[in-house]
Structure 1
Amino acid sequence: MPSPIPPTRLLPKDLYPSLDTGACSSPLSKHCSHGSTLQVPAQRLHGKVANRLWSSVIHWEELRWLQPVGSGGFGSVYKAGYLGETVALKKVKTCTKNRLASRQSFWAELNAAHLRHRNIVRVIAATTCVPAEFADEGRSIGAILMGFAGDRNLQQLIYCGTEQLSEERWLRYAADIAHGLRFLHANDVVHLDIKPANVLVSNEDVCKIVDFGCSVKLERGGETSVINPNLNHMGGTYTHRAPELLKGEAVTAKADIFSFAITLWQLITRDHPYTGDKQHVLYAVVAQDLRPPLSHCQLLLAELGRRCRTLLSHCWTGDARCRPSAQELVLHLEQLKSHS
């Protein structure tokens, strides 16, 4: 079995010089107590959760009223109280079918742990040692404590809600996602799983990108990632996956732009991008330039819709080099907002 992802591949350089790669189940673990595991500065400010540094300590005794929020292939998410704040606790579990992928998912979650931005869910703390009373049948790889960003995501809003999505609203949501991507890419992080289910909508109606379990940290200042056989670039959601990733090519930030385009189309049309067999869709996206239809939605036939059709075509083109950067995407969306 391939070795675990080295910490230098996932964390910023100012963190890993002091890492002790010895003791525990994780390359970033040191003491298997109920407290510190990751060797990152911990911080408490007047009994509150620190809003700048993420911590290596989860004070389990401070967790209150855990309420299930959702679950997926790699773990469960709970809403809880912690040091006077409402937080989200994500417990990453071992997948019996693919243990390496489970470990990759946990460490990839920390790619954005040191980043703070209005449109990204912040990481408060992370640990690889979970007390037995909090572990899911003893199968927890680790736990991540995050700021609570809201009870619903864009997937629910698009397909399950009865609320109207006006032009102003979906343009604002799209701009929120683009601003988050611009910040991530400026810090050499590629999300690789942008989709409505991974965008939370806060009580203030602000979109926040979450779930970095498929993300990649590029070389500092670099545009591409060298393909590493230990990394699973085939992760993510097939309906939103860029064709170059389907072909096994190196990761670039432009993969997120492709995924953003599919998400924007969903916001506008409130429809599902593809129907039919998964393997047929994957083949057609690569070999036949299959994309969601642009002609069946009345919103895309109006003036603003025509501008959006042009933007979508540029963002999901098969040639990643021709897609706009996240910075250019923000500018395009600001222009669309000014003309709406």
Structure 2
Amino acid sequence: MMSRHNTPHGRKHKSNSRIHHRKNLNEPHLDLVSQKSFHRSHQSRHRNITVCDGCHRPYIDSFYYQCEECQDYELCYFCAHQNVTTGFHTIDHRMLLLSNKTMPIIDIHELEFGKELGHGAFGIAYKAYWPSRKLTVACKVITVPVDIFTHTREKSFFKEVAAYSQLVDPNILKIYGYSQRLLENGTREYVLVMEFMDKGSLNSLLYKTKEKLSLRKKLSLACDVASGMKKIHDYRMIHRDIRPDNILVKENYTAKIGDMGIARAMDSNQPLTVIGCIPYMPLEFYTGTYDQKLDIFTFGLTLNELFTEISHNNKNRRISITKQSPVFRHLIAECINDDPKRRPIANNIVIRLQRFRNALNKLIKRTKEYPALSEERKNQILIDLYKKTHW
């Protein structure tokens, strides 16, 4: 006889009922397995015990649902399928089924490659179309010849895969999977299939397009980047290269942090290395002894550049601001303090930026004529509010 268990909401659930292994609750019912076989086949993966945000009961975190909209909101299988809503979580939020399994391997032949989007030290990015998913994606291609740099290139790629597999957040670039193959000439090719960001990098948006961003839109971008950085730091990781080139922007002006190839775990036993974009690096970077406060420093420079559209100076490893931002001068100054201990933490930055945005939104609601105002006047309202509050 099958055993029965009470769910958090009092409904009876058969222990051998079939369950669905899906990315989100709206996907087709694929990969059907019984609950017993599901746990039996994956019991060796069960390592840590976590508490469900729905029923507040412990569950094994090898498989769980995580909300893409809420910060660190996780549900056990039962609560997710009961559509449990607590706190700020609502039923229309997208839920992802996560596990300790590696990132999906994608058949490269399923993708139709298009134009080149850009290139960096370890690869070239292309725009591509994924017909079976009816999805436009970006593909980062790394070709690894067999030479003295083979290990370095491969290590960079798989570090990026590992970093993205741990981080799911609305402000961190989404990764769908990767592929790898051996080419005829003996070289190896690795492809990381990523979310396509219509507006490109923040650097391109600031300097290579004719579009003029309002201060309010820039504030929204700043909040997004700070939120993504906080998520990285919450996972005890350091990005090590937060700058306009590595911030991607969607059509709706949502900003996401990308290029996790040089991110590293804080508790790694490996020594810290001198990796990153030199013009944005603080003094401690050159010693190889640094922590998450390095990201705070590069974020501060990025924040100033976002609001001024002018880069800073870097001469003899000393950084100086070329033009003062009209807003958040105090926050920027704190972020780029030479003493890492005096820089704020990511959570503090998120709170301060969000408080200012909330205050601005309230002011806008009280200003009935706001929609009809010129962009210059709207910008001035934001600047005046900053002068009064100094957030």
1:179 partner amino acid: S
**C-alpha spacing 1:186/1:69, structure 2 compared with 1 (3 Å):** same
Alignment-derived partner of residue 14 in structure 2: none
CA distance in 2, matches of 1:166, 1:67: 30
Alignment-derived partner of residue 6 in structure 1: none
C-alpha deviations, 1:292-318, integer Å up to 9, x for none?
A: 14xx45x53xxxx3xx11111110111
Q: CA deviation at 1:327?
A: 0.5
Alignment-derived partner of residue 91 in structure 1: 141
Q: CA deviation at 1:98?
A: 3.7
Give yes or no for contact 1:170–1:267 (8 Å, CA) kept in 2. yes
- Unpaired runs of 5+ residues, structure 2, are 1-41, 46-61, 64-94, 361-381, 383-391
Query: Secondary structure of the equivalent of 1:90?
Result: strand
**C-alpha spacing 1:196/1:142, structure 2 compared with 1 (3 Å):** same
Query: Secondary structure of the equivalent of 1:212?
Result: coil
Give yes or no for contact 2:127–2:138 (8 Å, CA) kept in 1. yes
CA distance in 2, matches of 1:281, 1:141: 38
- Unpaired runs of 5+ residues, structure 1, are 1-14, 19-39, 42-49, 220-224
Alignment-derived partner of residue 242 in structure 1: 282
**C-alpha spacing 1:168/1:321, structure 2 compared with 1 (3 Å):** same
**C-alpha spacing 1:239/1:318, structure 2 compared with 1 (3 Å):** same
1:242 partner amino acid: P
Q: Does 1:122 align with 2:174?
A: yes
Q: Does 1:317 align with 2:369?
A: no
Q: Does 1:252 align with 2:291?
A: yes
**C-alpha spacing 1:314/1:66, structure 2 compared with 1 (3 Å):** same
CA distance in 1, matches of 2:240, 2:173: 16
Q: Does 1:102 align with 2:150?
A: no
Give yes or no for contact 1:55–1:126 (8 Å, CA) kept in 2. yes
Aligned-pair identity in percent equals: 27
CA distance in 1, matches of 2:346, 2:249: 20
Q: CA deviation at 1:242?
A: 2.6
**C-alpha spacing 1:138/1:167, structure 2 compared with 1 (3 Å):** farther
2:316 partner amino acid: V
Give yes or no for contact 1:113–1:122 (8 Å, CA) kept in 2. no
Q: CA deviation at 1:138?
A: 5.1
Q: CA deviation at 1:151?
A: 4.3
**C-alpha spacing 1:69/1:140, structure 2 compared with 1 (3 Å):** farther
Alignment-derived partner of residue 33 in structure 1: none
**C-alpha spacing 1:80/1:179, structure 2 compared with 1 (3 Å):** same
1:113 partner amino acid: S
1:106 partner amino acid: F
What TM-score comes out, normalization by structure 2 length?
0.61
Q: CA deviation at 1:141?
A: 5.0
2:213 partner amino acid: L
Give yes or no for contact 1:258–1:316 (8 Å, CA) kept in 2. yes
Query: Secondary structure of the equivalent of 2:217?
Result: helix
Alignment-derived partner of residue 250 in structure 2: 202
Q: CA deviation at 1:100?
A: 3.9
C-alpha root-mean-square deviation of aligned residues, in Å?
2.7
**C-alpha spacing 1:117/1:316, structure 2 compared with 1 (3 Å):** same
Alignment-derived partner of residue 7 in structure 1: none
Give yes or no for contact 2:138–2:194 (8 Å, CA) kept in 1. yes
CA distance in 2, matches of 1:152, 1:252: 29
C-alpha deviations, 1:15-65, integer Å up to 9, x for none?
A: 9x88xxxxxxxxxxxxxxxxxxxxx99xxxxxxxx9545633212231124
Q: CA deviation at 1:66?
A: 3.4
Query: Secondary structure of the equivalent of 1:130?
Result: strand
Alignment-derived partner of residue 264 in structure 1: 303
**C-alpha spacing 1:76/1:189, structure 2 compared with 1 (3 Å):** same
> Number of aligned pairs?
264
Give yes or no for contact 1:190–1:253 (8 Å, CA) kept in 2. yes
1:119 partner amino acid: N
CA distance in 1, matches of 2:118, 2:106: 21
Query: Secondary structure of the equivalent of 1:252?
Result: coil
Alignment-derived partner of residue 202 in structure 2: 154
Alignment-derived partner of residue 316 in structure 2: 281
Alignment-derived partner of residue 81 in structure 2: none
- Runs (4+) of structure 1 exceeding 6 A deviation are none
Q: CA deviation at 1:76?
A: 0.9
CA distance in 2, matches of 1:260, 1:324: 11
Alignment-derived partner of residue 112 in structure 1: 164
Q: CA deviation at 1:153?
A: 0.9
C-alpha deviations, 1:88-118, integer Å up to 9, x for none?
A: 1111233767444323321221212232111
Q: CA deviation at 1:188?
A: 1.6
CA distance in 1, matches of 2:158, 2:245: 20
Give yes or no for contact 1:196–1:263 (8 Å, CA) kept in 2. yes
Query: Secondary structure of the equivalent of 1:317?
Result: coil
CA distance in 2, matches of 1:61, 1:315: 45
